[in-house]
Each structure stands twice: as C-alpha cells, then as structure tokens.
Amino acid sequence: MNQVNTISERAALVRDRICRAAESVGRDPTTVEILPVTKGHTAETVAEVIAAGFERIGENRIAEAETKREALAGLDVSWHMVGHIQTNKAARVVRTFDVVESVDSIRLARRLSETCEKIGGAPLSVLVQVNTSGEAAKGGFAVADALEPIAEICAMPGLTVRGIMTMAPFVDEPGLLRPVFRRARTLFDSCGESVTGFTAEVLSMGMSNDFEFAVEEGSTELRLGTILVGERPGR
C-alpha cells in the first residue's frame, strides 16, 4: 500500500470522508469547508497547503502567525485565529488575522471592538466560542447561558459575528461526541433565529479525530491539523 505523503493526497482522502459523512445524513458536501490548522509547521509547509488549493489558514499563536504571514505576504490567503487570546494582545490580533474564531469572553470581544473602531476599515469577522462539553479546561461561554452574551457581542461596533465555534472532548466515542455537537448546532440555530446581527454562516466544530461525527451533526467548518498537514516537527 502506497504511503500518503503530500498535503494534496491527504486532502483528497479527507474530502472523500467528508463527502461520505455528509451524504449519509442527506447533506451537500460542498457546504462543509476545511480550515487547515498549521500550528508548529513552517512557512514552507503553509505554502504547500495553499498550493494544494486552500485559501484559509488557521493558527493559534500570534507571534508564529505574524512570522508566517510576513514570509508569505505575496500569497492570497485568509488568516484565522483559532487559539486563546489574552486581551492585551487584541491589537496584534486585529493587525495579523482576518478572522478570529475564538472570542471566549465579553472582555475580549469589547477589546477587539474598541481596537477595530480605532483602526477603522471593514468590521472584523469573529466566531463566538462556546463550551458545549462542560469541561473546565475548555474556554468559551457555557452553552446554556450563551444567548445573552452572543447578542451583546453582536451589538458591538467593529465586529461581525458570523457564527460559533466549539471543541469536543478528545475522544472517539460517538456517545460522548454527538451530544456536544448537537448542543452547538441547537445554539447556532437559536442564535440565527433570535439574535440580531448574528449572520449564522459558520458552525465551526470538528477536528482531526472527530470530524466525520461533526459533519453528520451539522458542522460547516472543520479545523484540521494532523490529518491534513501531518505531525508537527519535533513531535
């Protein structure tokens, strides 16, 4: 059996699995997008990801993303922040990223809003991070109480709230994963119906170990690292 080595080859296999998962529940596979997450990989690897046809890159470290973005300045790609953000780093985040997928507090949202207002230009696209698993180690708003803070963030100037993001437990047990994803989907739908300014474009859930379950439960964006880009150097 031939070993799959290139990012393009991995992407083809992943897209096939996405297609099968989507079709199993009657979804159009084209409604599911991949966000390659390149934490710990070199700018050269990111260039390979872009060459494989991806137009968006996910990073979770500000300094690392700054270096990569500068190195790849000539390439047309959208940079997405998917990691935790300290509020005092808001200005750097706004300068470096086109989309912030990890707005996990009112304080952070307010700081991003204020920074965007000072800088001017188009509103910053954001996702609100919600904790649908109940794990203390995971950030985000508790799903049961999330509607009010999401509405508050949607009203902040300088921000466009395009959806929500969540992280499931790192397990491969459907009985644990599916309820987490379903709670996120239910909240997403509720926000779309009742929250002014919530555009309901992106439901970001699903990673390398659980993305097929996420697709089956309604995810529109999968944040894929290892399965797509390979193991990080040094691991």
Domains belonging to the chain, first-starting first, are 7-229 (3.20.20.10)
- Alpha carbon separation from 183 to 120, 146, 187, 210, 233 (Å, rounded): 35, 11, 6, 16, 35
Q: Are 229 and 57 in contact (CB under 8 A)?
A: no
Q: Could you identify the residue written with the tokens 């859930």?
A: 205
Q: Are 61 and 80 in contact (CB under 8 A)?
A: no
Distance CA 213, CA 143 (A): 19
Predicted local confidence at residue 67, as pLDDT: 97
Distance CA 211, CA 208 (A): 6
Q: Are 131 and 141 in contact (CB under 8 A)?
A: yes
Distance CA 128, CA 103 (A): 5
Mean pLDDT of 15-26: 98
Enter the tokens of residue 131: 């904790």
Q: Are 191 and 141 in contact (CB under 8 A)?
A: no
At 111 the three-state DSSP class reads: helix
Q: Which letter does DSSP use for residue 34 in this model?
A: E
Q: Are 102 and 165 in contact (CB under 8 A)?
A: yes
pLDDT at position 39 over 50? yes
Q: Which letter does DSSP use for residue 123 in this model?
A: P
pLDDT at position 234 over 80? no
Distance CA 63, CA 59 (A): 10
pLDDT digits 0-9 by tens, 42-80: 999 999 999 999 999 999 999 999 999 999 999 999 999
Q: Any bridge partners for residue 34, and if so which? A: 222
Mean pLDDT of 197-202: 98
pLDDT tier for residue 37 given thresholds of 50, 70 and 90: very high
Q: How many residues appear in the chain? A: 235
pLDDT at position 202 over 70? yes
Enter the tokens of residue 113: 């809003």
pLDDT digits 0-9 by tens, 93-118: 999 999 999 999 999 999 999 999 99
